[in-house]
Amino acid sequence: MVRGLFAVIYFLGLASHLCAFEIKEVTSPGGIKAWLVEEHSIPFTAIQINFKGGSSLDRTGKRGAIHFMSALLEEGAGELDASGFAEELERLAAYFNFNIYDDSLTISAKFLTENRDEAVSLLRMALIEPRFDLDPIERVRNQILSILNSNKKKPQKIASETFYRKAFSEHPYGSQKEGTVETVSSLTQKDIRQAYSDVFSRDRVFVSAVGDIDALEFGKLLDKLLMDIPVGRNPLPNPAVYSEVTGYNLVDFDSPQSIVLFGHRGIKLGDPDFFAAYTLNHILGGDGFGSRLMTELREKNGLTYGVSSYLANWDGAELILGQFSSLNESVLEAIKILRFEWKKISSVGVTMEELKDAKTYLTGAYPLRFDGNARIAGILTGMQMRDLPVSYISTRNSNIESLSLEDLKRVAKKFLSEKDLYFVVVGRPVGKFSDN
């Protein structure tokens, strides 16, 4: 019964009240800052905790250690071994999820109000007293190695690894966060504990909560969870330097179709022209079937089932990236059309109808992101990490609505460069590559 209630509560939330909820900035008695949205209509709270740094904090020769460590955080803590921890989580009908990204380690927690104290105590054990027992280490190691070996046969993985390695060289962005078979095989329990110390630093933590908890209760919870985590640990890595590589990189792969990953330098989130570039990308290769690339490559020419582009923003780098797949016999024609459309939008801009449709879609889709307490907590924590103000939620759409045709034309000329595109093609395309 409790599990059923939890499932229902997960899908409830504040999605229909995007402009109605109040974001409170909370400071705990111990000085930890966080954001809070109180929602007392259901006895449930979602918390999002992000530690800045992520897998980019891997030490030299230890690639994959932080990813490995994050997979062990639910494999026993304090006096509880892996089975005991799982049983306690089940008894409390709570949910914890640990994820690692290039720039952050994230923890999502959901629990019922009646079990809040016990759930927070259990989460605290995972954060403060992870066991890293040898048996779970070997079990998780084998799982990771299996995935890494499987990835060697996946053309999409091969394409992304090839692109990022060439784009960012020796920077952590240039290699996969899971590490390699060689590095993961050599990691020891000591390496795992070092990875934990490197990423868990209280001065790099960002927290939000949404649900049945008030500011006073939340402040006490923050101190209980986080005050015992030290500060000033492993420093963040330097920003990445994009290599400005162009042209084509062909990776031979025996398949009837080729995977294509393409892109060039991007735009920073804080750039005054970011929203123009964001809207421009939506028109060029964004969501749905209305983008120029989808229209030309799929609808008019039947060269692919789908093509998309997006703005990729890390803490230390930014790109515009895209991908599609096509039969080996047609992939070069698809690339030729893509390059033409890239050049065309850069030199001519967009139409009033395209801009109007993009504004309607982007502003209308935004409230749909707020489809539950956990999603909202995640968005709020992400905003903090990007140094966005509380007011961003209410002003974001107006930034898009205020864009003009001249804004997009100007930014297209500055931002999009067909000559700077870099293509990684995994497959056996028929014909010769051309920049024309």
Q: How confident is the model at residue 436 (pLDDT cuts 50, 70, 90)?
A: low
Higher pLDDT, 282 or 4: 282
Residue 335 has pLDDT above 90, yes or no: yes
* Best CATH choice for the domain 247-350+405-427 from the list 3.30.830.10, 3.50.30.60, 3.90.1210.10, 3.40.50.1780: 3.30.830.10
Query: What's the token pair of residue 48?
Result: 């999002």
pLDDT attached to residue 20: 64
**Same CATH topology for 2-226 and 247-350+405-427?**
yes
pLDDT of res. 16: 40
Residue-wise pLDDT for 37-61, tens only, equals 999 999 999 999 999 999 999 999 9
Paired sense of beta strands 44-52 and 205-211, if any: antiparallel
pLDDT tens digit sequence for 206-234: 999 999 999 999 999 999 999 999 997 77
Secondary structure (3-state) at 67: helix
* DSSP letter (8 states) at residue 80: B
Q: What is the pLDDT of residue 21?
A: 80
* Pick from 404, 423, 395, 408: nearest CA to 18: 395
Least confident of 2-16, 63-77, 199-213, 248-262: 2-16
- Give the three-class secondary structure for 264: strand
Kindly state the average pLDDT of the residues 336-361: 97
Write down the pLDDT at residue 1: 27
Q: Which two tokens stand for residue 255?
A: 């398949």
Q: What is the mean pLDDT of residues 89-101?
A: 97
The reported pLDDT for the residue numbered 13 is 40
CB 318 within 8 A of CB 277: no
The confidence score (pLDDT) of residue 27 equals: 97
pLDDT at 183 over 50: yes
Q: Where are the domains of the chain?
A: 2-226, 247-350+405-427
Residues paired with 424 in a beta bridge: 249, 261
Q: Which CATH class is domain 2-226?
A: alpha beta
Whether the model clears a pTM of 0.85, i.e. scores above it, the answer is yes
**Neighbour tally for 116: CB within 10 Å:** 20
The pLDDT of residue 278: 98
Round to whole Å and give the CA distance between 20 and 269: 26
Q: For residues 199 and 317, give the distance between their C-alpha atoms in angstroms, rounded to a whole number.
A: 20
pLDDT, tens only, 19-43: 468 999 999 999 999 999 999 999 9
Mean pLDDT confidence for 55-73 = 97
Residue 101: both structure tokens together: 């990204």
What length is written for the chain?
Answer: 436
For residue range 407-424, list pLDDT tens digits in order: 999 999 999 999 999 999
Specify the 3-state DSSP secondary structure of 324: strand
Alpha-helical runs (H) found in 241-372: 274-285, 292-294, 331-348, 352-365
The predicted structure's pLDDT at residue 435:
74
Mean pLDDT of all residues in 199-204:
95
Handedness of CA 276, 310, 171, 162 (dihedral sign): negative
Report residue 305: phi and psi, to 5°.
-80, -25
Residue 2 scores a pLDDT above 60: no
The pLDDT assigned to 128 comes to 96
Going by pLDDT thresholds of 50, 70 and 90, the confidence category of residue 93 is very high
As a whole number of angstroms, the distance between CA 191 and CA 195 comes to: 6
Residue 107 confidence (pLDDT):
98
256, pLDDT greater than 90: yes
| pLDDT of residue 149 exceeding 80 | yes
Contact present, 326 and 344 (Cβ < 8 Å): no
Residue 5: pLDDT band (50, 70, 90) is very low
In percent, the amount of the chain with pLDDT more than 90 equals 91
